[in-house]
Amino acid sequence: MFILATVLVASSGDAQTPQVFPSPFSADMTVGLNVGHGGANPGVHPGIAIDLLAAWRARIITRGSFLLGFSATLQGSPANTDECEPAAGGGCVPRFPDTHAVGFLAGVERGIAGRASVRLLGGVARYGDADDDSHSALGIQGRLDLATATWHGMAFVTSARAALVPNLRGDSYQFGALGLGLRFQ
């Protein structure tokens, strides 16, 4: 899906059409579903994700723009409880963490003012256990954002995000999320 969206936007329009945007700054707010995997609690853990992205078009490049961004994310499950799920070897299975993250991203955007756009961004983030601030770790993140045409400074946006956190609470975790929301520019 990511590759198809990137190819469609990259091949749309005339190569000579200039990139014109109403503002070099934008803010995306999305809410959606996330899944997590890893750690001592096996399986896939569904939940809810809230994501904010502030981006700046730092430079117009051939067929698009170079972006720098800052992201903040909360993800977790309302079903998480403090109840003990018995572990096979005794004790309790560790709770899958609800997480928060802040990160820096860089990437590209392809689009023309008044039409749809696509962004592909990647970078690093600091992930933390939302219930225990003593546990945090660096991870890598990537995202694909598709936005509708801007209308009165707003656009609808869909985001697909993935992250790998190699050492949070001594374990490796993977997260993925799909979100829907608004872009303000």
Q: Sort strands 117-129 and 25-38 into parallel, antiparallel or unpaired.
A: unpaired
Q: Model-level pTM?
A: 0.81
Q: What is the chain's pLDDT, residue by residue, as a tens digit (185 residues)?
A: 443 344 344 444 444 444 455 679 999 999 999 999 988 777 888 999 999 999 999 998 888 899 999 999 999 887 666 778 787 888 887 778 889 999 999 999 998 656 899 999 999 999 998 877 778 899 999 999 999 998 888 999 999 999 999 998 888 999 999 999 999 98
Q: Is 93 helix (H, G, I), strand (E, B) or coil?
A: coil
Q: Which two tokens stand for residue 39?
A: 């750690």
- CATH code given to domain 2-10+22-79+93-184: 2.40.160.20
Cα-Cα-Cα-Cα dihedral sign, residues 151, 64, 143, 104: negative
Distance CA 63, CA 65 (A): 7
What residue spans define the domains of the chain?
A: 2-10+22-79+93-184
Q: What distance in Å separates the CA atoms of residue 65 and residue 9, rounded to the nearest whole number? A: 13
